[in-house]
Structure 1
């Protein structure tokens, strides 16, 4: 049972939810996936030791922040490198998405974007971890930031990647401290 890109997407949503209780149906609705895809993704993330099983009756599986941080900073770029496409409209990601767009100097080339007809940014297609990433990100600003930071790490720009790793680490530690 190998980890899939959508398992990272699901796990980042768990981070964004913090201590809020959740259901598989709720995650399915918010991530635009089926409940069985969510269930499978959580199981694979538990098997990969990125998520801890539910503690007690009525509890939810929760991200293991230290393991997740290590994987996202050092492994995700190798496990799930992005494919790039052509110029299109979509939702800004990587260094062009939040919070990186406020932290780095503007690049002269077209920004990386998740292709989406509802998006208003013209850029170069950047393959998301899952097809519904842009839709879910537009509805959840915290998830959008986490996904953009992970995409910056998946991207090829070393300077931006290092800054994104620090920002991601800070956000993950903040989340871990709130438990």
Structure 2
């Protein structure tokens, strides 16, 4: 698995029951078509998407996000930069958790200054600004990567509501 495999899976999940094509995912995520195809193939092998390459295995994805993501793709908040809010600084947890520490994905056109969190793919900030549901899923994943126990528990509950 590569970090952008999570991005591709969550983009598919954000579409819910709407049909999609690999070329759509490629365009919306700014990832080449061949990389999207290879990512989906890796996810089939990992048991995160069915053999038909259309239906997600939501329980397996939730398990991977909860128990694997923090260890496979950990992140330490970095320098103060301008960017797009993520983790508990972004929806939906920014309405529940009040914090003076903002976390952001570095992005030149961002509207918030905070500690940098490296996104799972460089094009994530731009893709998230175009798709609110995808943005929420990616932000919740970052909570799992950098959050404390309470924040992680809230993020898991939010992910369960959105993915199941």
Task: Sort the TM-score into its range (normalised by shorter chain).
Answer: over 0.9
Correspondent of 2:99 among 80, 96, 107: 107
In the alignment, does 2:118 pair up with 1:133?
A: no
Match of 2:110 in 1: 119
User: After superposition, what is the alpha-carbon deviation per residue over 1:21-59, rounded to whole angstroms, capped at 9, x for unaligned?
Assistant: 1111111100011001100111111111111121xxxxx
Give the superposition deviation at 1:73.
1.2
Q: 1:53 & 1:14 partners in 2: Cα distance?
A: 15
Q: 1:166 & 1:135 partners in 2: Cα distance?
A: 26
Give the superposition deviation at 1:83.
4.2
Q: 1:22 & 1:53 partners in 2: Cα distance?
A: 16
Secondary structure in structure 1 of the residue aligned to 2:82:
strand
Give the superposition deviation at 1:108.
2.1
TM-score (norm 1): 0.88
In the alignment, does 2:84 pair up with 1:91?
A: yes
Q: How many residues align?
A: 164
Q: 1:136 & 1:36 partners in 2: Cα distance?
A: 18
Match of 1:23 in 2: 21
Question: Does the 8 A contact of 2:76 with 2:146 survive in 1?
Answer: no
Q: Which runs of 4+ in 1 moved over 6 A?
A: none
Q: 1:80 & 1:158 partners in 2: Cα distance?
A: 17
Correspondent of 2:139 among 148, 151, 172: 148
Match of 2:2 in 1: 4
Gapped regions of structure 2 (runs ≥ 5): none
Secondary structure in structure 2 of the residue aligned to 1:75:
helix
Match of 1:39 in 2: 37
Correspondent of 2:60 among 39, 56, 67: 67
- Who wins on radius of gyration, i.e. which is larger? 1
Give the superposition deviation at 1:85.
2.4
